[in-house]
């Protein structure tokens, strides 16, 4: 996909018709100048143009999946151009955007034009959508133009094409990074459709069936679902409170850092010792929290079963015996069926046709053969053990795997974590005593008192945060238990309905979808980890800052491993490095997607220092895409940086707001 042209009128600060040519320029040597720069101060319409590109393609979907029609109308009304005449504010009656792009479909290049116009109609907006393909309307009903566009350019790919400052901030926020990465990767791979299909299959299997037992299971599942809803509401409240505490903690840490800087500036032996001790104490506290979290996770998993190894071993042996018994039973039933078939053939006339065998001899021979086939043998096992667990082979293997972990891996892991936790707490106690014994003279006393107050307040906030974490952990355990009970009830319901072929197929489809989702996610995450390391190291000024990246496929939590082997988090990166990380992640996602898509970024340089900006323009812009459109302020892209990207620069547009005309004026500079 390659963007060609954007036309906009009566939209935001743009009043007259404005054309923006975005197509790369072909050079005589066969290369392309693929970069378009649109610059202007805040309020000149950069974000308006950025948003217009997405609106042209997807309309209301550009604002999100769950935007109501009224909310979309209100947004459109707020974006129609406003101007003043005779001391009155006027709103344009119409507005619109037109986007042209080239798209290769089945090896054939197509020129697509999307024209979206809006007309004000009281408190609502009338929207018209016109689409052409190579100058002609596509062979679909006009009412299906949006669906046709969504098939051509899926909304899930938008997050890889258009990135504004808010999305970059979200990607650099440790509290929101994992959620956005999950959503982006899910849409990119179509996993959101898989989840929706799984939910539909779940609803289908739960609603089929009849009888009192089925009704009881329906009621039980509904009760579990209601309890899950209540627990999720409580979790949401606690998580909101935890986020508020995190904000308070961030403010206290900033104040504490400021006071420590004052202390270091005043001098003294205490100022020399304290940063080292404080840094080590923070590292110990972080590691203690990490170890404690791992112990809690073990407690919520297989650790309780490790306390009863005899029962686990007995269950394992029982499962093995039942599997063997099932195999013998199936073999015996199969052999009996075959014997019955042979007896029927021997008693018929077709087998003996053409053979001169007397009837008495035929009957005697048939009896002997059938008798020999029915003699007690290996398949006639009379001492079969009764079956308690009727499990499929994958379920049996999974249970045996969990039992093995509970008997061996989990106890060893708990012992190692416990020993390390005791060592860390002992070291923390020693450091805290050293900090309390540190001298403070008359000059440092007020600063020291303020530091002690901030530390006490910070300790209190951390204690409250730990308490909230414990409550959240307890609620999550209850939530998981309710989910397991609901799952068991659903499995019982599915067993009752197993005689219906449609239900059996639905259950198989759920398993296939779950396996497909898990396998595809893990495969793409492995590729994303490698691509992210290469992308980040390519544009970061610190050589080989990252050695590896590990992304948890369950919660998409990212751990960064430095070149020195230490594990880093986003909190350990500077603001500029976080911005580079977000851009690197965007680059890596585009590589994993395998699609040639344009990249449109709004305000990417604001939080980067001069060196990082040079790396970004020199190493990132030329390689990230065949077409790049940057929306920047004048302070972000100065003449020096503009000179660096001149070999790739196709066009530069300058946006200036005219307060008298109450509109933005566009200046076009073509680069050759």
CA distances to 173, 614, 639 from 606, rounded to whole Å, are 16, 13, 16
Higher pLDDT, 589 or 474: 474
Least confident of 42-46, 148-152, 257-261: 257-261
Q: What is the pLDDT of residue 129?
A: 94
Q: How confident is the model at residue 383 (pLDDT cuts 50, 70, 90)?
A: very low
Mean pLDDT of 71-84: 88
Q: What is the pLDDT of residue 103?
A: 85
3-state secondary structure of 38: strand
| DSSP assignments along 200-245, one per residue | HHHHHHHH---SHHHHHHHHHHHHHHHHHHHHHHHHHHHHHHHHHH
CA distances to 113, 116, 600 from 162, rounded to whole Å, are 19, 19, 5
Q: What is the pLDDT of residue 97?
A: 95
List of residues 6+ apart from 581 with CB closer than 8 A = 171, 172, 536, 570, 573
Could you tell me where the beta strands, DSSP code E, fall in 106-193? Answer: 108-121, 124-133, 162-163
Higher pLDDT, 437 or 25: 25
Mean pLDDT of 36-51: 86
Please tell me the distance from the alpha carbon of residue 91 to that of residue 94, in angstroms, as a whole number: 9
Please tell me the distance from the alpha carbon of residue 460 to that of residue 473, in angstroms, as a whole number: 20
- Asked whether residue 271 carries a pLDDT value surpassing 60, the answer given is no
Inter-residue contact 366 to 347 (CB < 8 Å): yes
Q: What is the pLDDT of residue 203?
A: 66
Domain ranges in the chain are 2-164+603-670, 205-302+408-501, 309-400
List of residues 6+ apart from 402 with CB closer than 8 A = 302, 305
List of residues 6+ apart from 21 with CB closer than 8 A = 4, 5, 36, 651
Q: How confident is the model at residue 94 (pLDDT cuts 50, 70, 90)?
A: very high
H or E stretch covering 270: helix 269-299
- Asked whether residue 268 carries a pLDDT value surpassing 70, the answer given is no
- Token pair of 646 as six digits: 């001149």
Place of tokens 């490698």: 530
- Cβ–Cβ contacts within 10 Å for residue 338, how many? 11
CA nearest to 567, candidates 576, 558, 575: 558
- Asked whether residue 381 carries a pLDDT value surpassing 50, the answer given is no
Please tell me the distance from the alpha carbon of residue 641 to that of residue 649, in angstroms, as a whole number: 11
Q: What is the pLDDT of residue 437?
A: 58
- Asked whether residue 475 carries a pLDDT value surpassing 50, the answer given is yes
H or E stretch covering 355: none
| DSSP assignments along 360-386, one per residue | HHHHHHHHHHHHHHTS--TT----PPP
Q: What is the pLDDT of residue 382?
A: 44
Q: What is the pLDDT of residue 98?
A: 95
Burial of 174 (0-12, 13-18, 19+ CB in 10 A): middle
CA nearest to 646, candidates 609, 621, 611, 667: 621
Please tell me the distance from the alpha carbon of residue 294 to that of residue 36, in angstroms, as a whole number: 48
Higher pLDDT, 75 or 618: 75
Please tell me the distance from the alpha carbon of residue 404 to that of residue 397, in angstroms, as a whole number: 11
DSSP β-bridge partners for residue 562 = 546
Please tell me the distance from the alpha carbon of residue 275 to that of residue 459, in angstroms, as a whole number: 17
- Token pair of 636 as six digits: 């972000």
Compute the mean pLDDT over every residue in the chain, rounded to the nearest whole number.
80
> How large is the C-alpha radius of gyration of the chain?
34
Question: Could you read off the pLDDT of 391-409 as tens digits, one per residue?
Answer: 677 877 777 788 887 788 8
Higher pLDDT, 71 or 346: 71
Place of tokens 């007309």: 119
Chain Cα centroid distance, residue 262:
42
Mean pLDDT of 43-68: 85
Q: How confident is the model at residue 130 (pLDDT cuts 50, 70, 90)?
A: very high
3-state secondary structure of 34: coil
- Asked whether residue 545 carries a pLDDT value surpassing 80, the answer given is no
Please tell me the distance from the alpha carbon of residue 318 to that of residue 470, in angstroms, as a whole number: 37
Q: How confident is the model at residue 96 (pLDDT cuts 50, 70, 90)?
A: very high
Q: What is the pLDDT of residue 378?
A: 46
End-to-end CA distance of the chain: 24
Mean pLDDT of 658-667: 87
CA nearest to 645, candidates 658, 629, 656, 657: 629
DSSP code for 347: H
Q: What is the pLDDT of residue 377?
A: 57
Chain Cα centroid distance, residue 115:
32
List of residues 6+ apart from 8 with CB closer than 8 A = 14, 17, 18, 20, 48, 49, 52, 96, 97, 98
DSSP code for 136: B
Spell out the CATH class of 2-164+603-670. alpha beta
- Cβ–Cβ contacts within 10 Å for residue 216, how many? 13
What pTM, to 2 d.p., does this model score?
Answer: 0.51
Q: What is the pLDDT of residue 636?
A: 74
Inter-residue contact 339 to 373 (CB < 8 Å): yes
- Token pair of 580 as six digits: 């580079």
Q: What is the pLDDT of residue 386?
A: 65
567-568 and 558-562 beta bridge pairing? antiparallel
Q: What is the pLDDT of residue 272?
A: 58
Q: What is the pLDDT of residue 407?
A: 81
Q: How confident is the model at residue 323 (pLDDT cuts 50, 70, 90)?
A: confident
């Amino acid at each position: 996909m390659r963007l060609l042209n954007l036309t906009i009128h009566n939209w935001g600060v743009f009043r007259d018709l404005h054309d923006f040519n975005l197509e790369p320029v072909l050079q005589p040597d066969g290369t392309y100048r693929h970069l378009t720069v649109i610059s202007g101060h805040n309020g000149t319409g950069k974000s308006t143009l950025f948003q217009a590109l997405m609106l042209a393609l997807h309309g209301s979907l550009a604002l999100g999946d769950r935007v109501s029609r009224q909310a979309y109308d209100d947004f459109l009304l707020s974006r129609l151009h406003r101007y003043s005449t005779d001391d009155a504010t006027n709103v344009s009656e119409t507005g619109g955007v037109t986007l042209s792009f080239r798209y290769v479909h089945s090896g054939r290049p197509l020129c697509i034009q999307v024209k979206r116009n809006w007309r004000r109609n009281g408190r609502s907006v009338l929207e018209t959508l016109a689409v052409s393909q190579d100058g002609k309307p596509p062979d679909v009903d006009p009412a299906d133009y949006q669906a046709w566009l969504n098939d051509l350019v899926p909304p899930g790919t938008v997050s890889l094409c258009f990135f504004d400052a808010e999305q970059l901030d979200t990607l650099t926020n440790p509290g929101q990074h994992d959620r956005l990465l999950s959503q982006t990767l899910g849409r990119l791979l179509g996993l959101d459709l898989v989840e929706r299909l799984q939910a539909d299959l779940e609803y289908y299997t739960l609603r089929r069936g009849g009888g009192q037992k089925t009704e009881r299971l329906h009621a039980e599942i509904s009760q579990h679902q209601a309890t899950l809803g209540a627990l999720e509401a409580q979790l949401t409240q606690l998580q909101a409170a935890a986020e508020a505490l995190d904000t308070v903690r961030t403010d206290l840490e900033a104040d504490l850092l400021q006071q420590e800087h004052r202390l270091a500036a005043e001098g003294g032996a205490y100022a020399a010792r304290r940063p080292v001790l404080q840094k080590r104490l923070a590292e110990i506290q972080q590691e203690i929290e990490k170890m404690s979290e791992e112990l809690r996770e073990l407690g919520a998993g297989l650790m309780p079963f490790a306390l009863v190894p005899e029962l686990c071993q007995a269950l394992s042996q029982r499962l093995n015996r039942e599997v063997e018994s099932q195999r013998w039973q199936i073999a015996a039933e199969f052999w009996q069926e075959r014997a019955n078939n042979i007896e029927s053939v021997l008693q018929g006339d077709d087998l003996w046709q053409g053979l001169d065998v007397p009837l008495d001899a035929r009957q005697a021979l048939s009896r002997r053969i059938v008798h020999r086939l029915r003699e007690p043998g290996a398949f006639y096992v009379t001492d079969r053990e009764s079956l308690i667990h009727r499990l499929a082979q994958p379920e049996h293997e999974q249970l045996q795997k969990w039992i093995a972990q509970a008997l061996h891996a989990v106890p060893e892991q708990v012992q190692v974590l416990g020993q390390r936790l005791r060592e860390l707490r002992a070291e923390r106690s020693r450091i805290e005593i050293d900090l309390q014994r540190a001298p403070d003279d008359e000059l440092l006393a007020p600063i020291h008192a303020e530091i002690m107050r901030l530390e006490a307040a910070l300790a209190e906030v951390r204690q409250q945060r730990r308490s909230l974490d414990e409550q959240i952990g307890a609620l999550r355990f209850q939530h998981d238990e309710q989910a397991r009970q609901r799952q068991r009830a659903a499995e019982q319901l599915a067993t009752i309905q197993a005689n219906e072929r449609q239900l059996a197929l639905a259950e198989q489809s759920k398993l296939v979808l779950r396996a497909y989702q898990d396998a595809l996610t893990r495969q793409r995450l492995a590729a994303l980890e490698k691509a992210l390391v290469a992308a980040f190291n390519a544009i970061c000024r610190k050589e080989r800052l990252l050695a590896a990246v590990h992304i948890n496929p369950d919660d998409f939590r990212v751990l960064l491993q430095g070149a020195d082997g230490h594990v880093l988090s986003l909190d350990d990166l500077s603001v500029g490095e976080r911005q580079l990380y977000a851009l690197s992640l965007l680059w890596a996602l585009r590589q994993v997607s395998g699609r040639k898509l344009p990249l449109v970024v709004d305000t990417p340089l604001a939080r980067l220092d001069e060196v990082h900006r040079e790396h970004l323009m020199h190493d990132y812009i030329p390689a990230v895409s065949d077409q790049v459109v940057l929306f920047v302020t004048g302070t972000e892209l100065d003449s020096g940086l503009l000179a660096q990207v001149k070999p790739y620069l196709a066009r530069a547009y300058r946006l200036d707001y005219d307060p008298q005309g109450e509109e933005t004026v566009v200046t076009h500079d073509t680069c050759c």
